[in-house]
Amino acid sequence: MRMASRVVVFDLDGTLTRHDTYVPFLTGFLLRRPLRLLRTVALPRALLLFMVGRLTNTQLKERFLNAFLAGASKQDIEAWTHAFITRLLSRGLCREAQDTLEYHRAQGDLLILLTASLDLYVEELGRRLRFDRVCCTKAEWSADRLTGKLSGPNHRGEEKVRCLLRLRQDYPGATVVAYADHSSDLDFLRMADQATLVNGTRKAQRLAKQQGISSAKWKS
């Protein structure tokens, strides 16, 4: 484990990238396997239940995973992941995010990618972007087939806070710098020594200001 005086933690969706990555990953796989479309008919109801508070973010994520990818083979997932990551790197990253990432790399900082998005593509993206460590939500496998369930916690909200606390234990004495975009990340950002809410909504920016967290607008 490489040690450093400063640990820099980046969120993925809306921070490093211009947009969400989970749904595009799922729908892109569906375009390669259009017969799976029939499996998605119940998802609008699941979205409605989520919007009225009867499904959690974790439950919704798992329902989408099950509908789009359950039963898919490791070989098929890896093939699509390669294509998806290549496309994401070519036109899906925020330019100022890349500049910030390279600035911290040049400073010798330890780079951590921490996201609620799935390991199916996040781990490969982390390798391609040369992060020192990747912490993300994991999908469950049975042999070489996806079960459609999550394996372990959804790295969102309180789980991100727990991840940051573990990072402090792993790198004692290091200054922790964090970048994230969502209002659900505010507790996580507040735990960092230096934190920036990136591209947050007006409401998120207002809440961040109340909590002493700076805000920034990263151009695409």
Q: Could you give the domains of the chain?
A: 6-216 (3.40.50.1000)
Q: E strand or H helix at 31, and its extent?
A: helix 22-32
125: pLDDT confidence band, cut at 50, 70 and 90? Answer: very high
Phi, psi of 99 (to 5 degrees): -65, -40
Q: E strand or H helix at 111, and its extent?
A: strand 110-118
pLDDT tens digits, 5-42: 999 999 999 999 999 999 999 999 999 999 999 999 99
Q: What is the DSSP letter of 90?
A: H
129 CB-near residues (< 8 Å, 6+ apart): 16, 89, 101, 113
pTM, to two decimals: 0.94
pLDDT tens digits, 144-198: 999 999 999 999 999 999 999 999 999 999 999 999 999 999 999 999 999 999 9
